[in-house]
A and B are shown apart, each in its own frame.
Chain A
Amino acid sequence: MERRGALKSMAVAMGAMAGLPAWASGWNKSAVAKSGLLAADQSKNLAMIVETIIPKTDTPGAGELGVGDFVQKMVKDCYDAKAQASLASGISNIDEQSVQRFGKSFTDASKEQRLQILSDIEKGSDTAQKGFFSMVKNLTIQGYMTSEYVMTNITHYEMIPARYHGCVPVKKG
């Protein structure tokens, strides 16, 4: 609690950092075009894929936390053209499988059906599709674990710990 208070007053003292000044943001902002990598329906499918990987329980799932957009942004900005193409085709492939196996689009399929499709890919023998899925799964985990929700409520990230103790007992549980 104290920590939050300290953080807040510091942010006030230093002026909120709403946006980076031109000299600092020039490096990325200009380079990153506005439009996304995927078409709207593909984006929706991706959101459903990440939600299936990390679903809502008593806490929000990856879909609700916007991790789909994160995955898309990372692949668009940080990966090469081949990986970008594999994202689009991988998503389409999942949707097609869903229609073939369950007669429903991936977004309409049941939770169990969606899990079935993804875990078959993960354990399957199609290396291209496996590569695509492992990229999406890794990015989903990264986006989820570094989301504001998880870092504030679950892993309790400390920006300003103000201490280092070299030897403390491991907390049980």
Chain B
Amino acid sequence: MANFNIDSKKARTYDAIVIGSGISGGWSAKELTERGLKTLVLERGRDVQHIKDYPTTNMMPWEFEHRERLPKEIADANPIAARCYNFKESSMHFFAKDNEHPYIQEKPFDWLRGYQVGGKSLLWARQTQRWSKYDFEGPARDQFAVEWPIGYDDIAPWYSHVEKFAGITGNKDGIDALPDGEFLPPHELNCVEKYFKEQVSKQYKDRHIIIGRAAHITEPQQIHLDQGRAKCQHRTICERGCPFGGYFSSNSSTIPWAAKTGNMTLRPHSVVHSIIYDDKKQKASGVRVIDANTKQMIEFYADIIFLNAAALNSNLVLLNSTSSRFPNGLGNDSGLLGKYIAFHNYRATVSGQYEGFLDSTTDGKRPNGGYIPRFRNVYKQETDFLRGYAAGFSAYRMTSNDRDGLGESLKAGLHETKYGNWGVGSHMMGETIPKESNYVALDQNEKDPFGMPKLRISVDYDDNDEKMIKDYMEQVSEMFTKAGFTNVRTNDNHRNPGNDIHEMGGVRMGKDPKTSLLNKWNQLHHCKNVFVTDGASMTSTATQNPSLTYMALSARAVDYAVKQRKAKNL
């Protein structure tokens, strides 16, 4: 009898349920609980509490047995995760292990995941740029995907809303293709970066070099202090979790904020299996969860459901949510669920050297870099490929130690640091075109260790990407050469799609239910109390890092959902 209450349906009923506690889920949870809704946050991984659960955060370099190099056994057991640049001895515990969370690569696609409270917000590189109107207008203008149901003006106030809370550093650059935001003081460009900025603006009308916009608190405001966060101390080891809360993560920011309202129940170890559709009410009534520890199925109920499991997992949950009304997955009357997956293309880099400023160097560390906003096809189609690319740009003073010889001469050489030229480097950030043939689907036979169907991923590059890579290499090489950089070299690393961790689509937004799954409020056209506000909802990808847009979409959708609930429309 003692268990009666715990097991009762009432005890498992909430006002809202959020699936996933990463970047988008954290925002959904914060906004829902702040508006007074009793909210259940379901997270498939373990709990990770700010500071307490950052086991490597204060370890010195020499305290890592392998000095950040991967033991062979771990690299061999995790061939996909280990291909991520950030999968290191100090941070690998925040990555999902390949063998524990298998999926099927119909084509090689690196699916990198963080399964814990906070999701990938503990691992991300924290670059946060707004989209511009050109990005939202792209598909309608260029006819490569369906039209976005929203434009820049719809989301701009929500960008401001999330930027102020998260804390974004940046400079007001006044660039059309990259709107300014609510910025904390910018990081500094170094001398060679500034020099390059001047050279580029002298030689090109529409090309800019700016300091990156990033989720770091360079000067805490009251709202950050209220979150218990402090000024970023420039450690640049953010992927271990930051004891200062210097960068934005769900763990340091939105999740504890939601907890403080008293309205949040966080349930880790809860793998959401599917969303329950109630035929009579013609809406979703709750979710089925597999307890990761006991493997038992439990049901939870709510009026509003926010799906924030990260793009491909949100597709998986919807595809797995079948009912007599929706035999092919929840809301999937169009048959498009899982299709039009797109991603970012970071395959190419350009490097070089500069033989100036030889009496200068940098001091300290900067958790950020320079950025080149998209300059291709912004106002009109001007190349033989669709869309464009942004790029990173950073300069650093090269140093070396003489490693020749043995004994005392070697030791002396090692102790003397010699300055070389400045090194300069850039990497592309390209937009890929959503295509029906890039899709995810459920495997009919194979199940993962939790009893969920395995996800089949069939996503690849195309000609457009190859042309874009070529153009990026040519354009940036030209810019480098004009600036007087020497030794300019291009490289295509040919890595798998997905390795850039910005997969999007499959549950795209749109105006027409025949060609999209979600309406302009991120609401399933055919199941109005279910909202998808992570990367799955993206109609196209733009060139910007995506997470800021997921945050803004989440906050905007919650505001709408709560108003609709009050008006008894949900």
A: residues with CB less than 8 A from B are 10-11, 14, 17, 20-21, 23-25, 27-28, 31-32, 52-55, 57, 61, 73-74, 77-80, 111, 115, 118-119, 122, 137, 141-148, 151, 154, 157-170
Other A-B pairs, 20, CB within 8 Å; known A31-B73, A78-B70, A160-B233 = A53-B406, A55-B408, A73-B66, A74-B69, A80-B72, A111-B407, A119-B406, A141-B414, A143-B67, A146-B61, A157-B60, A157-B61, A158-B364, A161-B233, A161-B234, A161-B364, A162-B233, A166-B190, A166-B194, A167-B194
Distance in angstroms between the alpha carbons of A78 and B358 in the assembled complex: 38
Find chain A residues with CB under 8 A from B89 CB. Answer: 28
The reply to whether A170 and B51 form a contact with Cβ atoms under 8 Å apart is: no
Q: A31-B74, A80-B72 are in contact. Are A159 and B60 (CB under 8 A)?
A: yes
Find chain B residues with CB under 8 A from A53 CB. Answer: 406-407, 410
The reply to whether B411 and A159 form a contact with Cβ atoms under 8 Å apart is: no
Q: List 13 A-B contacts (CB under 8 A).
A: A20-B93, A24-B56, A32-B65, A77-B73, A143-B67, A148-B62, A157-B60, A160-B235, A161-B364, A161-B365, A164-B362, A164-B364, A167-B362
The reply to whether A166 and B414 form a contact with Cβ atoms under 8 Å apart is: no
Q: Is B482 in the interface zone, CB < 8 Å from A?
A: no
Contact with A along B73-100 (1 / 0, CB 8 A): 1100000000000000100110001000
The reply to whether A11 and B58 form a contact with Cβ atoms under 8 Å apart is: yes
The reply to whether A77 and B72 form a contact with Cβ atoms under 8 Å apart is: yes
The reply to whether A163 and B234 form a contact with Cβ atoms under 8 Å apart is: yes
Find chain B residues with CB under 8 A from A157 CB. Answer: 60-61
Find chain A residues with CB under 8 A from B403 CB. Answer: 141
The reply to whether B364 and A28 form a contact with Cβ atoms under 8 Å apart is: no
Find chain B residues with CB under 8 A from A163 CB. Answer: 234, 363-364
B: residues with CB less than 8 A from A are 46, 51, 53, 55-62, 65-67, 69-74, 89, 92-93, 97, 187-191, 193-194, 233-235, 243, 357-366, 397, 401, 403, 405-408, 410-411, 414-415, 419
The reply to whether B70 and A167 form a contact with Cβ atoms under 8 Å apart is: no
Find chain A residues with CB under 8 A from B357 CB. Answer: 167
Distance in angstroms between the alpha carbons of A21 and B401 in the assembled complex: 37
The reply to whether B407 and A52 form a contact with Cβ atoms under 8 Å apart is: yes
Q: A122-B406, A164-B366 are in contact. Are A14 and B359 (CB under 8 A)?
A: no
Q: A31-B74, A57-B411 are in contact. Are A14 and B58 (CB under 8 A)?
A: yes
The reply to whether B234 and A164 form a contact with Cβ atoms under 8 Å apart is: yes
The reply to whether B411 and A54 form a contact with Cβ atoms under 8 Å apart is: yes
Q: How near does chain A come to B189, taking the closest CB pair, in angstroms?
A: 6
The reply to whether A115 and B406 form a contact with Cβ atoms under 8 Å apart is: yes
Find chain A residues with CB under 8 A from B361 CB. Answer: 168-170
Q: A27-B92, A27-B93 are in contact. Are A145 and B414 (CB under 8 A)?
A: yes
Q: How near does chain B come to A154, taking the closest CB pair, in angstroms?
A: 6
Q: How near does chain A come to B293, taking the closest CB pair, in angstroms?
A: 13
The reply to whether A166 and B193 form a contact with Cβ atoms under 8 Å apart is: yes
Find chain A residues with CB under 8 A from B366 CB. Answer: 164, 166
Find chain A residues with CB under 8 A from B71 CB. Answer: 28, 31-32, 77-78
Distance in angstroms between the alpha carbons of A104 and B117 in the assembled complex: 61
The reply to whether A24 and B55 form a contact with Cβ atoms under 8 Å apart is: yes
Find chain B residues with CB under 8 A from A25 CB. Answer: 55
Find chain B residues with CB under 8 A from A164 CB. Answer: 187-188, 234, 362-366
Find chain B residues with CB under 8 A from A151 CB. Answer: 60-62
Find chain B residues with CB under 8 A from A21 CB. Answer: 53, 55
Find chain A residues with CB under 8 A from B187 CB. Answer: 164
Distance in angstroms between the alpha carbons of A160 and B188 in the assembled complex: 18
The reply to whether B407 and A167 form a contact with Cβ atoms under 8 Å apart is: no
Find chain B residues with CB under 8 A from A148 CB. Answer: 60, 62
Q: Which residue of A lies closest to B397 (CB)?
A: A170
Find chain B residues with CB under 8 A from A54 CB. Answer: 407, 410-411, 414
Distance in angstroms between the alpha carbons of A87 and B281 in the assembled complex: 71
The reply to whether A28 and B60 form a contact with Cβ atoms under 8 Å apart is: no
Q: Which residue of A lies closest to B59 (CB)?
A: A17
Q: Which residue of B lies closest to A154 (CB)?
A: B415
Q: Which of B46, B56, B360 contacts A170 (CB 8 A)?
A: B360
Distance in angstroms between the alpha carbons of A79 and B71 in the assembled complex: 8
Find chain B residues with CB under 8 A from A24 CB. Answer: 55-56, 93
Distance in angstroms between the alpha carbons of A145 and B414 in the assembled complex: 8
Find chain A residues with CB under 8 A from B66 CB. Answer: 73-74, 77-78
Q: Which residue of A lies closest to B62 (CB)?
A: A148
Distance in angstroms between the alpha carbons of A168 and B360 in the assembled complex: 5
Q: How near does chain B come to A129, taking the closest CB pair, in angstroms?
A: 15
The reply to whether A147 and B360 form a contact with Cβ atoms under 8 Å apart is: no
The reply to whether B406 and A78 form a contact with Cβ atoms under 8 Å apart is: no
**Shortest Cβ-Cβ A-B pairs, 8 listed:** A166-B190, A163-B364, A167-B191, A164-B366, A24-B55, A164-B364, A77-B71, A166-B188
Find chain B residues with CB under 8 A from A161 CB. Answer: 233-235, 363-365
Find chain B residues with CB under 8 A from A80 CB. Answer: 72
Q: Which of A31, A118, A168 contacts B363 (CB 8 A)?
A: A168
Q: A168-B363, A170-B361 are in contact. Are A14 and B61 (CB under 8 A)?
A: no
Q: How near does chain B come to A8, taking the closest CB pair, in angstroms?
A: 11
Find chain B residues with CB under 8 A from A118 CB. Answer: 406
Find chain A residues with CB under 8 A from B362 CB. Answer: 164-168
Distance in angstroms between the alpha carbons of A137 and B407 in the assembled complex: 11
Distance in angstroms between the alpha carbons of A27 and B406 in the assembled complex: 37
The reply to whether B414 and A14 form a contact with Cβ atoms under 8 Å apart is: no
Distance in angstroms between the alpha carbons of A29 and B338 in the assembled complex: 39
Q: Which of A27, A79, A143, A170 contacts B74 (CB 8 A)?
A: A27
Q: Which residue of B lies closest to A65 (CB)?
A: B62
The reply to whether A78 and B72 form a contact with Cβ atoms under 8 Å apart is: yes
Distance in angstroms between the alpha carbons of A163 and B218 in the assembled complex: 10
Distance in angstroms between the alpha carbons of A112 and B59 in the assembled complex: 39
Distance in angstroms between the alpha carbons of A20 and B361 in the assembled complex: 37
Distance in angstroms between the alpha carbons of A74 and B64 in the assembled complex: 11
Distance in angstroms between the alpha carbons of A56 and B504 in the assembled complex: 56
Q: Which residue of B lies closest to A79 (CB)?
A: B72
Find chain A residues with CB under 8 A from B59 CB. Answer: 17
Q: Which residue of A lies closest to B360 (CB)?
A: A167
